[in-house]
Structure 1
């Protein structure tokens, strides 16, 4: 009996200890507070120490902050927090770092001190179509040698030097008359001296000049949300593509302008191989969207609220939920597998794709590609950028093959590799090993000896740490069509969505005739080319 009592007591103690050990905790060093302050300069960093008895992950909500490492195990851990950019906003900015274990979350506020700045009196300046002289006023504590001013738009000229007294200054400009129907935009970009117009701006002033149609507002919305069938699939189950425009008024619907743009966008989408040869697998629709104003931007009332960041950036934002609503105007559409293409009514150079609607265990193919009528409806850039954004990113889930910044962070590599497990990003890799790189089969295949297939460093917008399969392609400088690994990824995607099966390498090679290994247009990089903004990974489910 005594032995049983002892065993029972020991079991009770063991259970109590075990329960205590199973309770997750996150303890910060006694000298630490739940906040960290970084200096205003680029690469300013601090460390943060904590302990936990569980595996953990770290995430943040700011594009100017990096955290390393982003995951770990139990025990004492030290994070390094680094400001990737100088804080040029004119005020301190904050981000939230979240530490997560099995059942706990600990939030730490990260503050970056204010640094050098330029503060505009007005971010957007509106000018009548007659034009005239204007002044762009700003304040700064910097001396003139510390910053530079760049402008876009040949119709915007600078008359004399910028003038300042103490902290207040202005730039004198002359705006030429606008004889066109559409309004137009130009940018005044303030960057650090020596960085050039593509540098991280202190501020960007937007100059908007009215056109002949700027003051007109739509009155007839009867055509809104009507659906036009451009093509019905004759092979497979039908992969849906839905085209729509933003910033088109009722008169542009009535006179055929809207349909003309949609028809050209439709033609452009199927102008590159292998999609050209696989077009019979697609259902293609055009949904009419009647906006109140002609043109796009924050100052226009449009269906999808399309907004171009400008100032050297190609980022486009819009009301993605409104886009989804118009997609569903197509009766019975399979929205999870739909590619939505929005054509903003502007000729500006821009383009952005949004995807990642779901979780890694339940990811949809739904994507939204925004591409303006770059340089006009018949321009080569409108065609190639639409293929890059809509077919490359939106449908094929390919990544960018160009580079314009340093080394790819390890956490971004891990995220990309996770997406590769579900068939995304098949045109990039993170090794230069010829035996294990994703496109290794092409490297040793004599049938592709005439193609530029290799392992080239620079991809995913990063110069180091990521590799692409060809020196040039439509996913790089918008020329030379899709390279062989990208064509394979597109072919595989069509077979998966259109026929519900996985394609083999040899099947693809048999399909990939010599005609699909070349392109008939765009062999020279356009003088207007600039690398585009990276596709935006939404990382949330589609709303019902």
Structure 2
């Protein structure tokens, strides 16, 4: 069921691209001028470029110093393979382009932020790493949830929005941390809900141990940012109710999401009954 849903999303993405390129039937080419205005390298294609109606996916380095960039390049290759090994992408390689941005950090690793809530008190600690995308762990007091500062999220739109062919371009930030961390937007909904008609759908994953679990994290978060799928688990350690976290949730649920909280569930996405409809079991 999950693979069928991803296939439907993929086909809709390609069809929307085809609708946009009439009447000349010429593919939209990414505009790279924006990245030249920032101290960020422009995206580099990772393979022979596919033309026409394609989905562009861009890997971004976070928390990798100049000496550590080769590790990021290797992780980008593994992440590309993780997506290409999964249907419907495995059968549609000619409709995908993968890019890499070697965005260098001044210091290794990512930041973290302490978070205080009325139900859980203060969790996490404040630490700072000088990185290009300002990614941090412990978003909303959830240790495994990654976020980024609003200004940096807005810059993704300025830098890479023109790489959207069809509805969206998909950015994947790979964070240099061995923690089991991740975070993702849904297509058309930015982390801070501040961008009108966004073209970038962003996700963040930790490198973890660079093996099969890393591949799983890539696929899982891509299920959110590309497939518009939800999580489907109950976290007994997160006792904050929907009322306290309302600002983080969308006011209008997606079609595959319940409109109410069935008993204090909370895990960084929306509410779903266990066993149906979420990205937690797309593999």
The TM-score bracket by the shorter chain reads 0.5 to 0.7
Where 1:267 maps in the other structure, the secondary structure is helix
2:170 pairs with 1:366:
no
Partner residue, 2:67: 251
Where 1:393 maps in the other structure, the secondary structure is helix
Partner residue, 2:279: 475
Residues of 2 paired with 1:459 and 1:261: CA distance?
37
Residues of 2 paired with 1:276 and 1:320: CA distance?
34
Residues of 2 paired with 1:316 and 1:387: CA distance?
16
Structure 1 segments, 4+ long, off by >4 Å, are 326-332, 405-409, 457-460, 465-468
Contact (CA 8 Å) 1:401, 1:428: kept in 2 or not?
A: no
- Measured against aligned partners, the alpha-carbon deviations of 1:393-447 in whole angstroms (never above 9, x if no partner) come to 11122222112368867x97xx868353xxxxx433459xxxxxxxxxxxxxxxx
Partner residue, 2:11: none
How many aligned residue pairs are there?
214
Residues of 1 paired with 2:265 and 2:161: CA distance?
37
So what's the TM-score if we normalise by structure 2?
A: 0.61
Give 1:387 shift: 1.4
Pairing 1:270-309 to 2, within 5 Å after superposition:
270-297=84-111, 298-309=127-138
- Is the strand fraction higher in 1 or 2? 1
Partner residue, 1:228: 44
Mind listing any 5+ residue stretches in structure 2 that lack a counterpart?
1-38, 112-126
Residues of 1 paired with 2:43 and 2:271: CA distance?
42
Considering only aligned residues, what root-mean-square deviation do their CA atoms show, in Å? 3.9
Partner residue, 1:315: 145
Give 1:267 shift: 1.6
Partner residue, 2:164: 334
Residues of 1 paired with 2:100 and 2:88: CA distance?
22
Contact (CA 8 Å) 1:246, 1:302: kept in 2 or not?
A: yes
Pairing 1:145-544 to 2, within 5 Å after superposition:
224-231=40-47, 232-233=49-50, 237-253=53-69, 256-297=70-111, 298-309=127-138, 313-322=143-152, 325=155, 332-334=162-164, 337-355=168-186, 356-357=189-190, 363-364=197-198, 366-374=200-208, 376-378=209-211, 380-389=212-221, 391-404=222-235, 418-420=252-254, 426-429=255-258, 461=266, 467-468=272-273, 471=275, 475-476=279-280, 479=281, 482=282
Mind listing any 5+ residue stretches in structure 1 that lack a counterpart?
1-222, 421-425, 432-456, 483-518, 520-544
- Measured against aligned partners, the alpha-carbon deviations of 1:47-97 in whole angstroms (never above 9, x if no partner) come to xxxxxxxxxxxxxxxxxxxxxxxxxxxxxxxxxxxxxxxxxxxxxxxxxxx
- The alpha-carbon distance between structure 1 residues 427 and 331, as it changes in their structure 2 partners (threshold 3 A), is closer
- Measured against aligned partners, the alpha-carbon deviations of 1:215-235 in whole angstroms (never above 9, x if no partner) come to xxxxxxxx951421025345x
So what's the TM-score if we normalise by structure 1?
A: 0.34
Contact (CA 8 Å) 2:272, 2:278: kept in 1 or not?
A: no
Where 1:314 maps in the other structure, the secondary structure is coil
Contact (CA 8 Å) 1:401, 1:459: kept in 2 or not?
A: no
User: Of the two, which has the highest radius of gyration?
Assistant: 1
Residues of 2 paired with 1:271 and 1:324: CA distance?
31
> Whose RCO is larger (CA < 8 A, sep 6+)?
2
- Is the helix fraction higher in 1 or 2? 2
Give 1:312 shift: 6.0
- The alpha-carbon distance between structure 1 residues 430 and 242, as it changes in their structure 2 partners (threshold 3 A), is same
